Chains A and B, each alone.
Chain A
Amino acid sequence: MEKNDTIDVLNPPKSVFGVTLKDAEEYGDKLNERTAHGFINEPDRDIEKETLWDFMASKLSEDDESEIAETMRSLEGEFR
C-alpha cells in the first residue's frame, strides 16, 4: 500500500498487516467459544446466600479431612 492510500471498509484489501477481515471474525468466534467453554465452571452455590467462606467451611468426608490434616502436619518442622 502507498502511504496515502485509504482503506475502503466495505471492501477491505485482502490483507492489511497480514490479517484479513475474515481472520479477525474467525478469531472473534474462537474467542467467544473459548470464553464459553474454556474457563472454569460457574459456581454451583447460590452466591447471594452462601459466601465463599461458607462454601469452604462445608463439611468434607472424614477421609478428606484426615488427608488435609495429615498433609499439613507433614509441613511442620520444615521451612523454618
Chain B
Amino acid sequence: MSLTLSQYPKYVPLTPIERYGKYYKFESYVRQVVEYLHLNVDGIECRKDVIFDIIERVEMRRVYFRVFHGIIMSEQNEISHYCFWILKLAPLVNKNNPNQHINARLAVFLFLKMLKQVGRVRKQHVSFNNRFVRNLMYAFVYRDLSKEAIMAIADALLTGAAGGTSSSTVP
C-alpha cells in the first residue's frame, strides 16, 4: 500500500560535524587542484557558505536516489552534481583574475578526474583530447546544462568505454 504524502519522512539536514567533515575534505581537495592548475592559492577565495550549500544539496540528491530508485548514488553521479552546483553557485572567486572562469575550470577538472577514476575501478580506458575538453569547458561556461545532462554525458562516455573495445577515445 502506498504512503500518503504526510507519511513520507522529511529530509534531515547533515549535522554540523558531518557538514564540516565534508567541507574540509572538499576544500582540501580544491586547494590541491588550484595548485595543480598553477594558480595562486592566495588569490582564490573559497566561499564557505556556498560550499555548505552545495554539500547539502548533493546530500539531498543522495537521499532522493535512495528513496526513489533504491540505489546508492555513484561517484560519477555525485561528481556530476558537484560540477552542476559549482557552475551554478560559483563557490570560488579568483580575486586576481575574476574573468578566468575558475569555477568552470574546477568543474572540468573534477569531471575529467572522475572519468579517469571510475575507468580505473572498472578497468576501462577512458581518454580525451584537447578538443573535447575545450568543448566541455565551453559548455560549462556558456550553455545551460542540467544535472541530468552532466550525468548523461559522463554515463555516455563511460558506457562507450565499456562497450565494444576496452577503450574509448572522446573525439
Q: Please give the residue numbers on chain A whose beta carbons come within 8 Å of chain B beta carbons, in ascending order.
A: 35, 39-45, 47, 51-58, 60-61, 64, 67-72, 74-75, 78-80
Residue from A35, A51, A67, A79 with most neighbouring chain B CB atoms (10 Å): A79
Bound-complex Cα distance A70 to B54 (A): 29
Instruction: Give chain B residues whose Cβ lies under 8 Å from the Cβ of A72.
Output: 36-37, 105, 108-109, 112, 133
| Residue B100 lies at the interface, judged by CB distance under 8 Å to chain A | yes
Give the A-binding residues of B (Cβ under 8 A): 22, 25-26, 28-29, 32, 36-37, 69-72, 74-79, 97, 99-101, 104-105, 108-110, 112-114, 116-117, 120-122, 127-130, 132-134, 137-138, 141, 151, 155
- 22 A-B pairs with C-beta separation under 8 A: A39-B69, A39-B74, A40-B77, A40-B151, A41-B74, A42-B71, A51-B25, A52-B78, A58-B117, A60-B120, A61-B120, A67-B116, A68-B112, A69-B36, A71-B130, A71-B132, A72-B105, A72-B108, A75-B137, A79-B100, A79-B104, A79-B138
Instruction: Give the number of residue pairs across the A-B interface with Cβ within 8 Å.
Output: 93
Look across to chain A and name the residue whose beta carbon is closest to the beta carbon of B112.
A68
Note all chain A residues with C-beta closer than 8 A to B72.
42-43, 47
Could you say which of A43, A51, A68, A74 contacts B116, with CB atoms under 8 Å apart? Answer: A68
